[in-house]
Amino acid sequence: MELNEYFQNRSQLIDQALESWLPSEEILPAALHKAMRYSVFAGGKRLRPILMIAACEAVGGDTRHVMHAACAMEMIHTYSLVHDDLPAMDDDDYRRGRLTNHKAFGEATAILAGDALLTEAFRLLADEKANKDIPPHVTIQVIELIARYAGSQGMVGGQVVDMESEGQTVDFPTLEYIHTHKTGGLILASVQVGALLGGGDDAQLAAMKKFGGAAGLAFQIADDILDVIGDKDEIGKDIGSDQARGKVTYPALLGLSESRQRASELCEIAIDSLSPLGESAKVLQDIARYIVSRTS
Ligand code: GRG
């Protein structure tokens, strides 16, 4: 299956699952559920849940065991975008080609919609029905892993160091800390959880960790590059915002050409790390190539 077709097929499955698990707009409080759904169904690429499904498939697992965690990951990712766009943070008007959540629903509702998405994600990760075929110790491992990569020593931590670094001269280790934590963490967690729920062995989990670390960092470098040379309409948000805010980025520190070089080296590391898995890892390896060549 071509990668495009794979993305289309798996994102349809994710959308169906999200549709069934997210409270409908008719359930009280309707305004909150409407705001949550507005951002979840705003046309995101579903990269993290797709990586989770692909990792599960790569270790020979049953994708039905991973759908709830894939949806929880997308809810956490969406909450982070809703909060990141708020006036107190990046103060953005557009996301995924439409008005940001706070522009559409007001600041207070956007904060609460993000809070509710994060909380609902962990409810779903612990949901009894969704976990009926999963050993309880694996469920606990999954919850701990996602909390670790999303929390103060993961995505939120990376966001704080990113904020503190705005307008400052920042060294390379700090830049790598920001990128691996703020963005890389959820990507790394996605493939690890996919392999874990797919019943992967220790060697497969270790390979997936290496893949996720490299692919996660490559993703953020590609994002930095897109913010310099990307197309506003394709990306769905303004270009040049990193520079305007004095954000620390790869192109700012290393230049465009070296940033591209680093992204393609990381892509090779990601691809090589999965070679022990053979043909079953092909989709993940194609996704790594897509991550560094994407235009949106
Ligand atoms: C507010 C707790 C908190 C964290 C925010 C992830 C993050 C931390 C901020 C997002 C800022 C940002 C735009 C980072 C660039 C990388 C990134 C996460 C891009 C968006 O991810 P995509 O391209 O988006 O997968 P879609 O819309 O396709 O899901």
Q: What does the DSSP assignment read for 22-43?
A: SPPTTSSSHHHHHHHHHHHTS-
Residue of 51, 84, 101, 153 best suited for mutating to test ligand 1, as the one with most atoms within 8 Å of CB: 84
Q: Is the pLDDT of residue 236 over 70?
A: no
Q: Is 40's C-beta closer than 6 angstroms to any atom of ligand 1?
A: no
Q: What pTM does this model have?
A: 0.95
Q: Take residue 15 and report the two structure tokens written for it.
A: 């959308």
* Angle of the 202-229 helix axis to the 282-293 helix axis, nearest 10: 20
Q: Which residue has the tokens 């830049």?
A: 175
Q: Is 83's C-beta closer than 6 angstroms to any atom of ligand 1?
A: yes
Q: Take residue 208 and report the two structure tokens written for it.
A: 């997936």
Q: Is 155's C-beta closer than 6 angstroms to any atom of ligand 1?
A: yes
For residue 80, the CA-to-ligand 1 centroid distance in Å is 7
Q: Which atom of ligand 1 lies closest to the CA of 86?
A: 1
Q: How is residue 277 annotated by DSSP?
A: G
> Residue 122, Cα to own-chain centre: how many angstroms?
16
Measured from the Cβ of residue 4, the count of other Cβ atoms closer than 10 Å reads 9
d(CA 188, CA 149): 8
Judge whether 35 and 71 are in contact, CB under 8 Å. Answer: no
Q: Is 47's C-beta closer than 6 angstroms to any atom of ligand 1?
A: yes
User: Cβ-count burial of 294 within 10 angstroms (0-12 exposed, 13-18 middle, 19+ buried)?
Assistant: middle
d(CA 127, CA 122): 8
* Mean pLDDT, range 95-114, rounded to an integer: 96
Judge whether 86 and 111 are in contact, CB under 8 Å. Answer: yes
Residue of 183, 238, 250 best suited for mutating to test ligand 1, as the one with most atoms within 8 Å of CB: 183
For residue 183, the CA-to-ligand 1 centroid distance in Å is 7
Q: Is the pLDDT of residue 214 over 80?
A: yes
Q: Is 121's C-beta closer than 6 angstroms to any atom of ligand 1?
A: no
Q: Residue 237: its pLDDT value, please?
A: 65
In the chain, what is the straight-line distance between the N-terminal and C-terminal CA atoms, in Å? Answer: 22
Judge whether 198 and 60 are in contact, CB under 8 Å. Answer: yes
> Residue 80, Cα to own-chain centre: how many angstroms?
9
Q: Residue 240: its pLDDT value, please?
A: 75
pLDDT in tens, 46-100: 999 999 999 999 999 999 999 999 999 999 999 999 999 999 999 999 998 899 9
Q: How many Å is the Cα radius of gyration of the chain?
A: 18
For residue 201, the CA-to-ligand 1 centroid distance in Å is 30
Confidence at 273, pLDDT banded by 50, 70, 90 = very high
Residues 6+ apart with CB under 8 A from 71: 14, 17, 18, 21, 49, 121, 124
Residues 6+ apart with CB under 8 A from 190: 48, 49, 51, 52, 55, 70, 73, 212
Q: Take residue 157 and report the two structure tokens written for it.
A: 């931590």
For residue 285, the CA-to-ligand 1 centroid distance in Å is 22
Q: Is 183's C-beta closer than 6 angstroms to any atom of ligand 1?
A: yes
Q: Is 96's C-beta closer than 6 angstroms to any atom of ligand 1?
A: yes
Q: Of residues 117 and 228, which shows the higher confidence score?
A: 117
Q: Is 78's C-beta closer than 6 angstroms to any atom of ligand 1?
A: no
* Mean pLDDT, range 170-191, rounded to an integer: 95
Judge whether 273 and 195 are in contact, CB under 8 Å. Answer: no
Q: Is the pLDDT of residue 159 over 80?
A: yes
pLDDT in tens, 114-124: 999 999 999 99
Q: Is 223's C-beta closer than 6 angstroms to any atom of ligand 1?
A: yes
